[in-house]
Amino acid sequence: MIELLLTSFPVLIRYIQLRLRGEAMTIWNMKTALYAWACLAFALFVTIFYFHPKSYTGLVPFRTISVVAQANGPVTEVAVENGQAVKAGDLLFRIENSSQTAALTQAKAELAQLDAAEAKAKDALTLAKASVTSANASLAKLQQDLDQAQTLLDRNVGTQDKVRELEAAVISAEATREAAKAQTDVAETDLSQSIPAQRAVAEAAVQRAQVELDHTEVRAYADGTVTQMAMSVGSPASQLVLRPGMVIIPERGEDAHLRVIAGFPQVARATLYEGMPAEIACESNLNLSNRDAVLPAHIVAIQPAIASGQVTPGGDLLEPSARATRGSILVYFELLHPEHEAIMLDGSGCIIQTYTNRLPGVFGHVISATGVVKAAGLRLKVWGALIAGVGLGGGGH
């Protein structure tokens, strides 16, 4: 409508001429003006719609966190309710944990047994070292007696039997000493290798049992709001991602900028570019005063591929005719003013109007100026949607 009014001046001029001449207005004397009007309107329509593409598919995307259990069993406690705000680490619900508690108690008992075994090995090492000391002393005494007996025998004072008896005693004492050393080695090996290895296994078992017990307490992994809670005390805890016990809508990160996405027709690819100015009008922001209903934004990224052309490995060969639906170009927008992010409702549907402003020369300035028509049309549509109460409906792009 606005475009038709802007291009109607040839008809108005011709109409004034006919009135000044006193001639009646007919289709024959108005045909040139009407033809000029049609050409101007067509040129203006093409210019405006080509260089300032619009999309009705704008969306404020957001993610959700599906809360599922990591352990089987009935729910014994539900610590939250629908609509409750939670912080990361807050308890959501508990699961019956008698078997996990028993497993942890057993693992800790086995670890305590290793403490006793280590104390016993230390005592055995002390005893073995004392035995080695005693055996060394006995061996030294017997060796001295053997030397004396051998000296007496050499002087024809002693007897051969005494020497042989002492030699046997020395050999026995050496064996006793070696046995005591072996006991020392065994005790040292237990303390330095066997018991530490067993302790590592026992500690891992305790940690595993503790983890299993911790799994019976489901806590929030992020700040957010609980919704769609489908559990109560006594109900079985769901471990299926497709059937979560509840859903958490996480809060927006302070450092992450809100992005709005929209799909544009493929023919707009030659017009869209990063940094391109735009305006975003979301249904959840409509109001009678039109305040903060249309927000300035700009393009920050354009997806380099069209989703409908994605091919995944499969048993069937690709048949292009089966993909008759043409995909759209996915474009990402960010608001120019970060303070506007607070008034954007996650999941809201939006109309996005873009404006070309980088064409050179006088023609480029003219193209940029025609964007005011689309800007006015966007605001009229916002008011119309508000008055009609049907939202920012629209077809196509």
Residue 286 in contact with residue 352, Cβ under 8 Å?
no
Q: What is the pLDDT of residue 11?
A: 64
Rounded to 10°, the helix 31-51/9-21 angle is 160
Residue 246 in contact with residue 228, Cβ under 8 Å?
yes
Cα 187 to Cα 184: distance, rounded to the nearest angstrom: 5
Q: What is the pLDDT of residue 396?
A: 40
* Cβ-defined contacts of 118-124 (< 8 Å, 24+): 118/191, 118/195, 118/199, 121/187, 121/190, 121/191, 121/195, 122/187, 122/191, 124/183, 124/186, 124/187, 124/190
The residues facing 292 across adjacent strands are none
Residue 359's CB: how many other CB atoms inside 10 A? 13
* Residue positions counted in the chain: 397
For the stretch 39-88, pLDDT in tens is 777 777 788 888 999 999 999 999 999 999 988 889 999 999 999 999 99
Q: CATH assignment of 52-60+258-308+326-397?
A: 2.40.30.170
Asked which of 104-108, 112-116, 341-345, 354-358 is least confident by mean pLDDT, the reply is 112-116
pTM of this structure:
0.70
What is the band of 236 on the pLDDT scale with cuts at 50, 70, 90?
Answer: confident
Q: CATH assignment of 65-96+217-250?
A: 2.40.50.100
What is the band of 395 on the pLDDT scale with cuts at 50, 70, 90?
Answer: very low
- 240 vs 277, higher pLDDT: 277
Asked which of 67-71, 150-154, 254-258, 286-290 is least confident by mean pLDDT, the reply is 150-154
For the stretch 261-288, pLDDT in tens is 999 999 999 999 999 999 999 988 888 7
Cα R_g (the chain), whole angstroms = 45
